[in-house]
Structure 1
């Protein structure tokens, strides 16, 4: 089922209650930037739901209930109000997760354990995502495939962003594929690639997209990244470029 909210929609509490619904795509592109609390709410009660795609820029609050079968989630939210943390925790048992990361979302997700998550795609949106990355990895013990995109924004990181008492479990037991999109050659990005390559014991492929680099910088960047030691002797490093 696909739901798209209209600009002149006057529904305060929008409820999706469907016991046999498997797929739900929900879009609310109305923006109430001047309102602290819109008084509107999305309520989802779908016990058979396996697929959920939400794009919501409205600032409405949310409530999600009774979704034990949920496996695949796409979550694009520009801002959030009431019920945000509880809503995100309803995704803790999913297998696949794609997120547009805001700072508030990062704080929440770094405290949630995703015990079944095997694949994730992270797209930062003006957020200090690198400082919370290791916490997120600690909470994803079965993560097999991780894709991150910088969105042309320099990742902001403290000097101790990768420090931890121990390495995340997924880096020693399950992570096999890693992809970084829009690598721009900044120091923080190189540190991220180095962290993954030097700690991911099971890594099979690491793919770095250099599409934002100038042609003359690509060869230098590839040589620098190839020189990083890899703990997995069976891993392969691939590059994607925009130049033929």
Structure 2
């Protein structure tokens, strides 16, 4: 039996409920006919030219992207603007687009939980729990065996897909680490959270100069974590395999593909 987009939307809502999204977010159906049949699904972090090319080449009926293409209001989808061009190409190819963003961050198998699991963290809990204390933003847990900041950075580099920026670290290479906080995607808003402040290391992406500097300076006075800054795209890409497996389990009739295209915006780095 062929599933329809409406069937998939029901499953997506069960897996990543819209109610879990942040108030500023815009997850859900972007384009597509709910009555249309869906046989092939492509998971990706970003909806960009390359992933739309891939979806069309794969004959996908649905793209499930982590990042919303239309996060903020737009006044035009003219095709001389990249968002309008992508939407038009998807519509012409009969390929729907759905996004699962912060609603996919807070669930039990969300972006941060997947990263924490790949690092082997145990006794994990959300950094900022929701009404259900097992759900929420970020994760903090304990390593089965203590390590150092340098070794943790090397393990992280092995776990994540390669990017131009790699893993940047603020902290001593040999500083001990046992408790680790993680937040997939941009996580400098959590730098002051008590659960992060008491961790030995904090792994996230998109750390800006001033928040990172202030956190490290405060750590010199009252303690605080080493900071490990990774690619935003890489920190969330690991979730795609888990999400795809969940969708396959719910709809074994589907062909579900995970994009391996690197959509991190940085192409190369010159180290001085």
- The verdict on a shared fold, with TM-score over 0.5 as the criterion, is no
